[in-house]
Amino acid sequence: MATELVLAISGGILMVAFLYSSVGHAGASGYIAVMTLFGLAPIVIKPAALVLNILVACLATWQFWRAGHFSWRLFWPFAITSVPCAFVGGYLNLPTDAFNIIVGVVLLYSAVRFFVQPKPDGEATLPKRPVAISIGAGLGLLSGLTGVGGGIFLTPLVILMGWARTKTASAVSALFILVNSTSGLLGNIVSTKQLPFFTLTFAAAAILGGLFGSFLGSQRFPPILIKRLLGIVLLIAGVKLILV
């Protein structure tokens, strides 16, 4: 791969990692869009995005946990079923064009909700455990199929349903992304019998962007700003699913 191409892709990865990590996400949908734009083969994009996702999710999880925003009670019912389902989704390689368009439209709708007068945080009420467990299974399968960590779907759902305050939703999503990306990557490796392609330059760009983004999101940015940034993230992810 030419040096100029590596640097161009790395620059895109750095910007994506910074933006996504500021809202507790890891950027897989953005990495997929960047690598697709520069012509990387589809067979390498999904696992490479998951590797970068794992790196950035580790940083986001640590930063939001260190800032005191994480809630185990909210996290585990979603995660307990999402992890095995993410493995199944990562193992499968299905044509999902129509499915991606539907999901993309849903993400765009969520993005609009965060752009148009985002509401300040109110009192949070935990979801019923059977509801959270069922949703976790669906999001895990979806994350494995699409090559993203699932937080792109979990965060807006948790915030819009009033199940957590904004930064708690970001903290929970960060760890949710980490465990599902790891499970999805293992499923993909078992299925393809290939290790993911990526370069140290890509990894360094993701780590640098994720480090600064997650620090600002967890300790500096107010919740309203995070909601607007989340709207941008959802917009990027929705357009990527529809067009890429």
Q: Which helix (H) or strand (E) holds 126?
A: none
Find the mean pLDDT for residues 149-175.
92
pLDDT digits (tens, 9 = 90+) for 67-89: 999 999 999 999 999 999 988 88
Residue with the larger pLDDT of the pair 148 and 107: 107
pTM: 0.89
pLDDT digits (tens, 9 = 90+) for 186-200: 888 888 777 776 678
Find the mean pLDDT for residues 107-115.
87
Percent residues over pLDDT 70 in the chain: 94
Whole-number Å distance between alpha carbons of 77 and 69 = 17
Whole-number Å distance between alpha carbons of 77 and 164 = 14
The structure tokens listed for 154 are: 């979990």
Whole-number Å distance between alpha carbons of 50 and 31 = 9
**Cβ within 8 Å of residue 30, ≥6 positions away:** 12, 16, 17, 19, 20, 233, 236, 237, 240
* Total length of the chain: 244
